């Protein structure tokens, strides 16, 4: 059943992906209750071959180790058959706790060191993904529509990318003609990865396209230098972060997003816009937390990609400085015609 399902999804989505000019997409997410997993496809940049990554979730609490082993063997065989790939092209990960609040394994920690990398394509941009060493591969597929929107609106703009991870939003901004980008993250590893993503696309770090190794919260709290304002800010923070800048010595998006948005608002140019997104499942947005002078509306119905069955994978809002209600109609046009 799983193999058949993957085969059908692959046939359908590979045509769609070619039209969209993307080589990586979500094939499967808990479609069949007996196979609780996510399977993503990462086609190489030539589009001729690819790799599958499967994240297995715990099936039932009372599974014995023997039954669990049987299940995994069976599921793996189904994936290989369904996608017609050899075992060397399937990468299996186990997903339990996703975000570390109290010392559990951090989602961003290294879990392996084989360093199997691949280059994928998305709307004309190339990205390095790492299939083995981390729980995530280096490109969050659920933000693909927002990255395309970034590319389409970046011409001549100054862009600030906060909690930037491997810098995919910045690559799309530069590809779309941004005059300046600033890419901020507290992880050297991910910023080096971003530098490789820049190089893959023929771009480089420069005075115009800066990389900042910093705690975003500390950096934002300090406020912008007099002339530093951005037309587009993208802020996709982790659900939790150990940062001494926050009241509780840690950042929780559920609790601290209001303060975060206030800090960000000081960096926004007149008529500028902020895209704020979160994967926190329990997140509740209170409009009274929107900074004065900004309008805000939720765009999740358009920012979650078509290949995602889980429509609640993230939520995303657009905040606009000097926003007027009539702007709503054209505020987040995603061109899917290419
Ligand atoms: C949720 S991801 C961001 C995903 C990214 N926006 C994207 O779509 O590719 C988390 C990133 O935030 C970074 N991070 C976590 N806490 C941070 C902090 N306080 N300051 C700066 N970066 C932080 C991590 O290093 C990681 O790269």
Atom of ligand 1 nearest to the CA of 216: 20
Q: Which helix (H) or strand (E) holds 184?
A: strand 180-185
How many A from CA of 157 to the centre of ligand 1?
Answer: 22
CB of 191 sitting under 6 A from ligand 1: no
**Could you tell me which residue, 333 or 291, shows the higher pLDDT?**
291
- Overall CATH class of domain 141-330: alpha beta
pLDDT band at 242 (very low <50, low <70, confident <90, very high): confident
Q: What is the pLDDT of residue 47?
A: 67
Average pLDDT over residues 240-256: 80
Tell me the CATH architecture of domain 2-124: 2-Layer Sandwich (3.30)
pLDDT band at 104 (very low <50, low <70, confident <90, very high): very low
Report the SS3 class of residue 315: strand
CB of 190 sitting under 6 A from ligand 1: yes
Residue 114 has pLDDT above 70, yes or no: yes
How many A from CA of 27 to the centre of ligand 1?
Answer: 25
Atom of ligand 1 nearest to the CA of 166: 9
Q: What is the pLDDT of residue 336?
A: 34
Q: In terms of DSSP H, where are the helices of 205-283? A: 216-221, 253-265
Report the SS3 class of residue 161: strand
CB of 193 sitting under 6 A from ligand 1: no
**Could you tell me which residue, 290 or 46, shows the higher pLDDT?**
290
pTM of the model: 0.91
Q: Where are the domains of the chain?
A: 2-124, 141-330
Residue 93 has pLDDT above 90, yes or no: yes
pLDDT band at 333 (very low <50, low <70, confident <90, very high): very low
Taking only the tens place, the pLDDT of each residue in 249-275 is: 789 999 999 999 999 999 999 999 999
CB of 246 sitting under 6 A from ligand 1: no
Closest CA to 264 of 316, 221, 215: 221
Q: Which helix (H) or strand (E) holds 307?
A: none
Question: What distance in Å separates the CA atoms of residue 158 and residue 207, rounded to the nearest whole number?
Answer: 12
Mean pLDDT of all residues in the chain?
90
Average pLDDT over residues 65-94: 94
Closest CA to 207 of 260, 241, 279, 158: 158
Report the SS3 class of residue 239: coil
């Amino acid at each position: 059943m799983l193999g058949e399902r993957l085969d059908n999804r692959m046939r359908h989505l590979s045509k769609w992906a070619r039209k969209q000019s993307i080589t990586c997409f979500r094939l499967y997410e808990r479609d069949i209750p007996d196979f609780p997993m996510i399977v993503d496809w990462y086609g190489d940049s030539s589009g001729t071959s690819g790799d599958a990554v499967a994240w297995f979730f715990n099936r039932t609490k009372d599974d014995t180790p023997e039954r669990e082993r049987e299940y995994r063997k069976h599921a793996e065989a189904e994936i290989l058959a369904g996608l017609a790939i050899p075992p060397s092209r399937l990468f299996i990960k186990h997903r339990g706790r996703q975000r570390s609040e109290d010392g559990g394994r951090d989602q961003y920690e290294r879990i392996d060191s084989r360093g199997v990398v691949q280059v994928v394509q998305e709307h004309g941009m190339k990205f390095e993904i790492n299939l083995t060493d981390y729980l995530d591969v280096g490109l969050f597929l659920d933000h693909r529509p927002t990255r395309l929107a970034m590319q389409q609106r970046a011409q001549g703009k100054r862009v600030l990318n906060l909690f930037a991870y491997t810098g995919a939003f910045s690559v799309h901004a530069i590809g779309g003609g941004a005059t300046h980008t600033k890419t901020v993250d507290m992880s050297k590893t991910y910023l080096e990865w971003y530098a490789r993503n820049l190089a893959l696309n023929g771009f480089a770090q420069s005075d115009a396209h800066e990389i900042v190794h910093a705690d975003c919260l500390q950096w934002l709290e300090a406020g912008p230098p007099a002339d530093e304002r951005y037309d587009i800010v993208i802020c996709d923070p982790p659900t939790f972060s150990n940062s001494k800048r926050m009241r509780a010595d840690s950042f929780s998006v559920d609790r601290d997003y209001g303060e975060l948005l206030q800090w960000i608002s000081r960096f926004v140019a007149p008529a500028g816009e902020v895209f704020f997104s979160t994967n926190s499942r329990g997140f509740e947005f209170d409009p009274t937390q929107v900074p004065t002078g900004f309008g805000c509306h939720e765009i999740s119905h358009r920012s979650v990609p078509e290949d995602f069955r889980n429509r609640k994978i993230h939520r995303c809002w657009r905040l606009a400085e000097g926003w007027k209600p009539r702007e709503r109609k054209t505020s987040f046009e995603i061109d899917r015609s290419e």
